[in-house]
Amino acid sequence: MKILYTTHNVFLSSTLKNNLVVPKNFKKLPFDKIKNGVLGKKYELSIVLVGKYRIKNLNKIYRQKEVGTDILSFPLSKENGEIFINPQVAKIKAKKFEFTYENYLLFLVIHGLFHLKGLKHSARMERYELTHYSRYRHRYL
């Protein structure tokens, strides 16, 4: 596992053999600020970039779905959670949703944070996501 970013309560790592799929701008995002805006300062977050087989296996074990995905979020407690992102799938989906790759990765992190907060897919969740996304997209990407 390679550590890409770490602060007091945010840990970004990668299990990918080839980190070329992770844009440099993504590693420079203010993960603390983004996380604090959704979950608060005390929340401890781990973001792990994983390959397609690992995320498919996690999806099968924890959601009983035998498909790959771009993101999975797991709340571990009220103040601790993990987000798993598959950059390869994210790159494909970015084109589908007409995002740049970097912007879509930012959106996925925000999306995962709102799931950790307990929100389900809804118009309300989308409004919150877009508000946070627009706040950071212009500033950092």
Q: Tell me: is residue 8 an annotated ligand-binding position.
A: no
What the block records as the tokens of 2 is 């390679």
Give the closest residue to 110 by CA, choosing from 52, 8, 29, 44: 29
What is the number of alpha carbons within 13 Å of residue 68 lying toward its C-beta? 14
Residues 52 and 16: beta-carbon distance below 8 Å: no
* HSE toward the beta carbon, residue 85, CA cutoff 13 A: 28
Q: Is 132 annotated as a binding residue?
A: no
User: Residues annotated in the binding site for Zn(2+), as ranges?
Assistant: 111, 115, 121
Which residues belong to the annotated binding site?
111, 115, 121
